[in-house]
Amino acid sequence: MAQPSTDAALPALGSSRFIFFTDFDGTITQQDSNDFLIEEFGVGPAQRRLVFDDILFGRRTFRDGFKELLDGVDLPFPQCVAALLQSITLDEGFREFHAWTKTHGIPVVVLSGGMEPIIRALLAHLLGEEEASSLPIMSNNVVPRLGKSIEDVGGWEIAYRDDR
């Protein structure tokens, strides 16, 4: 399912001389939130590594492999977020970096293959609501599975930002 472009929601990007684009998992945070969910509540670390080997060697696409791994996480989405809030930590230099970019008027945009609701929740938890809301995020989303709610066991899935 394609998501609409959010270019109109990023007006600050048009007036800045510099823009800093960053990944989220393992860059802003110390750990990868997706790997954590997959390893702790899904198929486990060994299967995750096998699927990523398949991706690296071209035996399957990232899109298909990543969705397969996330589909193995059947914990209700709010419980996934709660577990991540307890386990994922901020990179030790990010708070200072973010303050520096704000002081110098340099927008920071988060580009991620992860899921925006998780990224937003973690940023709000780690930086505070105000700081988190100042960071545009370009990533995937989470949607309920057909006939379910994201609060249900097995009730959510990733919705990729683009069609391919």
User: Exactly one of 7, 23, 53, 162 is catalytic; which is it?
Assistant: 23
Q: Residue 37's closest CA among 27, 55, 25?
A: 25
Catalytic, 23? Answer yes
Q: Which residues fall within 8 angstroms of residue 49, CB to CB, at 6 or more apart? A: none
Q: Give the start-end residues of each E strand in 26-79.
A: none
CA 150, CA 79: separation in Å to the nearest integer? 10
User: Exactly one of 7, 25, 32, 54 is catalytic; which is it?
Assistant: 25
CA 105, CA 3: separation in Å to the nearest integer? 28
Structure tokens at 158: 């990733």
State in Å, rounded, how far the first CA of the chain is from the last one: 9
Active site residues: 23, 25
